[in-house]
Amino acid sequence: MFDKIKTWARSLKRQIFTLYFACKDERVPWHAKVFTACVVAYAFSPIDIIPDFIPILGYLDDVILVPLGVMIALKMIPKNVLADCEVKAEEMMKNGKPKNWIVGSLIVMIWVLIIIWLLYILIV
């Protein structure tokens, strides 16, 4: 059973990388790009709609929302584009994903600003 879960998670990760490359492809319609970009951003984001520390509910978005979004996005993208992007995704899975330090820094700055704002509200 644990092997099935690992295989499913690896497949989902590959699909997310496929969608990442599909977002950048000119052959994808704009509405599919927007939806796909939202799914990829949510999947890669450390910020969830339901925080993971909440028992049971915290992981529901990771188990339900992300796969559902991936499934819908994959249906919106032309098959020939998906085939090209799957090859790129497989190559990226072998080499490791790129790190985007700018986006990571931006997320950290947003959290710092939220904490400062909350402290300001509590103190004043």
Residue 33: per-residue pLDDT: 92
| Amino acid letter for position 59 | Y
pLDDT digits (tens, 9 = 90+) for 79-122: 999 999 999 988 888 876 666 677 778 778 888 999 999 999 98
The span from the CA of 23 to the CA of 12, in Å, is 16
**Model pLDDT, residue 96:** 67
Query: What residue type is assigned to position 45 of the chain?
Result: S
> 12 versus 96: which is more confidently predicted?
12
Q: Indicate whether 7 pLDDT > 80.
A: yes
Gap between the Cα atoms of 14 and 67, Å rounded: 12
* pLDDT at site 63: 82
Q: What would the DSSP string read from start to end of 69-96?
A: HHHHHHHHS-HHHHHHHHHHHHHHHHH-
How many Å is the Cα radius of gyration of the chain? Answer: 17
pLDDT at res. 99? 63
Segment 32-85, tens digit of pLDDT: 999 999 888 888 877 776 777 777 777 777 788 889 999 999 999 999 999 999
pTM: 0.69
What pLDDT sits at residue 31?
93
Torsion of CA 88, 89, 92, 96, to 10 degrees: 170
Instruction: Name the residue ranges covered by the structural domains of the chain.
Output: 2-98
